[in-house]
Amino acid sequence: MAFGEFELLSPNRGGGAHEGLGVLFHHSGLGFDETILRMQDPASRVSYHCLIHADGTRCTMVPDGEIAWHAGVSSFNGRDRCNEFLLGVSFAGDTYAAPLSDPQIASALEWLGLRWSTRGWNPGRLTDHRQVAPGRKRDLNPAEWDRLAGAVAGQFRGA
């Protein structure tokens, strides 16, 4: 594994088994450490499965088999309640204030690669918060979503 990874479980999780049918990408709007602190606060009622630092380091906050509370009111491919079937991955920071770093994208590709073939994913199983909650959420910046989606398509072409 090229990027470091550690686990710091959030109390903000649960509600049944997670289906893992795809991935919903976010930006946290906060720095890496600040996001971790927020996810550790039960009052925030928010969590991600994985948070990615600008240097590519990943923090697992909710195991893949559990539900993270990251999507809120949401819909993807005609199905509501995205928390139940899309894993939540967030990039630390705000993609409108600064673009995703190259290590963040590479780390996300590495994270996806560990799951891609075993879960039968394809690019159509990935989305961002802006697309599942239009008018309510604005992450990722559309230009950064396009960069990420292009990197995914290039990495997993024919996979």
66-99 pLDDT tens trace: 999 999 999 999 999 999 999 999 999 999 999 9
Written as six digits, the tokens of 68 are: 């993270």
Is residue 159's pLDDT more than 70? no
pLDDT at 21: 94
**How far is C-alpha 109 from the geometric centre of its chain's CA atoms?**
11
Average pLDDT in the 105-119 region?
96
pTM as predicted: 0.96
Percent of the chain with pLDDT over 90: 94
pLDDT band at 18 (very low <50, low <70, confident <90, very high): confident
pLDDT at 158: 66
pLDDT band at 104 (very low <50, low <70, confident <90, very high): very high
Look up tokens 């948070």; give the residue: 51
How far apart CA 120 and CA 114 sit, in angstroms, is 12
Regarding the domain delimited by 5-151, which CATH topology (the fold level of the hierarchy) does it fall under?
Answer: Lysozyme-like (3.40.80)
pLDDT band at 17 (very low <50, low <70, confident <90, very high): confident
Average pLDDT in the 112-128 region?
95
